[in-house]
Structure 1
Amino acid sequence: MSKEKFFTDLKSIRKAYYEKHYYEDKKSWSEIAKMLGTYPNKVKRDAKNLGIKSRDKSEAQKIALEKGRTSHPTAGKKHSDETKFKISESQGAVWDSMDESELENRSDIARKCWNKKTDEQKAEFLKKGGQAIQEAARTGSKVEKEMFEYLVSKGYRVDRHKEHILKNEKFHIDLYIRNISMAIEVDGPMHFSPVYGEEKLKKRQAADLSKNGLILSSGMVLVRVKLVKRGSQRFHRYIMNELQKIIDSVEKTFPEEGKRYFEI
């Protein structure tokens, strides 16, 4: 079709043409302009005057990916450790810089997203969340696993879920560094939030206090790591750094009785 004839056609004919190729065939304005032998902005302006609404950027990118007109900018690509570190630090800095009103706004957005879910979607989400918590309780959280790998890489002799070391054999120790007689307990949300209800929380906290007493009375150093923040890589690095500081201090001078309890 020649561009001279097309732009002198009736508006109804031009509008039908745009609707067919832009909406139905999902062509871009550049592709339509090429078909007409003209430039994209002219086609886009003409279509706008005829009431044809252009796609927003997100929708245009989605269709371009589906049609193979462009490739996903990160598909099949892996970030280097240095890039991951920079991204993590940058995102963490954004969260740290938020004031209360901004944090509340984020929470409000999350609540609205939650309220838009169907009952079935909510039930499935809660089910998966419960399964993840139960699995972490059995095998240890992601932070615990990372901590174990970190300590082993540093040359420490570490036991995971050490049993039969305390007088109450129902208790196990999450991580035990034999070199320096240090017990590390990694506390997820169920240790300080009513994940399973207030009654379960009270029992859990009472058990934690009892466990603290048994560990400390055995002459060990106890470090409790409380996972109170979102599990970002930045937060994980903070935990490792703080733990290393405590270990360095204990290795230098083993603390006297009454000063062997630490929290991160």
Structure 2
Amino acid sequence: MSKEKFFTDLSSIRKAYYEKHYNEDQKSWGEIAKMLGTYQNKVRRDATKLGIKSRNKSEAQKIALKEGRIQHPTEGKKHSDETKLKISESQGEVWDSMDESELEYRSEIGRESWNKKTDEEKAEFLKKGGQAIQRAARTGSKLEKEMFEYLISKGYRVDRHKERILKNEKFHIDLYIRNISMAIEVDGRMHFEPVFGEENLKKRQAADLAKNGLILSSGMILVRVKLVKRESQRFHRYIFNELQKIINLVEKQFPEEGKRYFEI
């Protein structure tokens, strides 16, 4: 079709052409202009006069990616470990620099987002959250797994989730460094928040105290890591650094009785 004939056709014919190629076939104005042998802006202006609404930039990019007309700017690209570290640190610094009003504002945004969810969406979210917590209780949290890998990489002999029997009491220790008789317990939210109700929290804390007594009375070092902050790679690095300080202290001189309990 020549551009001279096309732009002298009835408006109904031109409109049907645009609807077919732009809306149904999801071609761009540039592609349609090329088909007509004319300029993109001329086609877009004509279509707008005929009531054809152009896609916004986001919609146009999605279609172009889907059709393979453009490539995603980050496709096939990866950040170096150094860049990832810088990004993680800068994000953490932003959160750390927020005052109470800014944190409350972020919380309010979260509450509004939650309130917009349907009852079904809320129920599904809570169900998955509960399952994740229970799964972490059985298999260990992400931090625990990374801590295990960190300690192994440093040459320590580490047992994970190994059961022990002390004073006729059977229990397991999250991580145990055999080289220095150090037990490490990683405490998620359910150890200090009523995730499963107040009664369960009281039972959990009583069990933790009893476990502390068994571990310490056996002569071990005990380190409890409390996940009180939002988990991030930056937070994990902080935990590893603090743990390494405690390990260095113990390796230098094993603490006397009464000074073998540490918290991070």
Q: TM-score, normalised by structure 1?
A: 0.87
CA distance change for structure 1 residues 99 and 144 in 2, over 3 Å: closer, same or farther? same
> 1:86-145 deviations in whole A, cap 9, x for unaligned?
332333233333333333333333333333333333333322222222221112111111
Equivalence map 1:65-104=2 (5 Å): 65-75=65-75, 77-104=77-104
Match of 1:145 in 2: 145
Contact 1:163/1:169 (CA < 8 Å) preserved in 2?
A: no
Helix, strand or coil at the partner of 2:171: coil
Deviates more, 1:89-98 or 1:190-199: 89-98
The one-letter amino acid of 2:139's match is T
> Aligned equivalents of 2:168 and 2:15: distance in 1?
80
Unaligned 5+ runs, structure 2: none
Helix, strand or coil at the partner of 1:172: strand
> Aligned equivalents of 1:104 and 1:44: distance in 2?
45
| 1:158 and 2:162 aligned | no
> Aligned equivalents of 1:253 and 1:154: distance in 2?
19
Unaligned 5+ runs, structure 1: none
Kindly state the Cα deviation for residue 33 of structure 1 after the two structures are TM-superposed: 1.9
Contact 2:174/2:183 (CA < 8 Å) preserved in 1?
A: yes
Match of 2:110 in 1: 110
Equivalence map 1:232-251=2 (5 Å): 232-251=232-251
> 1:31-60 deviations in whole A, cap 9, x for unaligned?
122122233233333433444332222222
Contact 1:166/1:214 (CA < 8 Å) preserved in 2?
A: yes
Match of 1:30 in 2: 30
Kindly state the Cα deviation for residue 79 of structure 1 after the two structures are TM-superposed: 4.0
Contact 1:33/1:43 (CA < 8 Å) preserved in 2?
A: yes
CA distance change for structure 1 residues 101 and 15 in 2, over 3 Å: closer, same or farther? farther
Match of 1:186 in 2: 186
The one-letter amino acid of 1:234's match is R
CA distance change for structure 1 residues 23 and 128 in 2, over 3 Å: closer, same or farther? same
Equivalence map 1:122-137=2 (5 Å): 122-137=122-137
CA distance change for structure 1 residues 124 and 111 in 2, over 3 Å: closer, same or farther? same
> Aligned equivalents of 1:137 and 1:233: distance in 2?
21
Match of 1:252 in 2: 252
CA distance change for structure 1 residues 257 and 101 in 2, over 3 Å: closer, same or farther? same
Helix, strand or coil at the partner of 1:245: helix
CA distance change for structure 1 residues 218 and 47 in 2, over 3 Å: closer, same or farther? same
CA distance change for structure 1 residues 168 and 113 in 2, over 3 Å: closer, same or farther? farther
The one-letter amino acid of 1:135's match is R
Contact 2:175/2:184 (CA < 8 Å) preserved in 1?
A: yes
Match of 2:176 in 1: 176
> 1:180-204 deviations in whole A, cap 9, x for unaligned?
1211110011111111111101111
> Aligned equivalents of 1:157 and 1:57: distance in 2?
55
Q: How many residue pairs are counted as aligned between the two chains?
A: 264
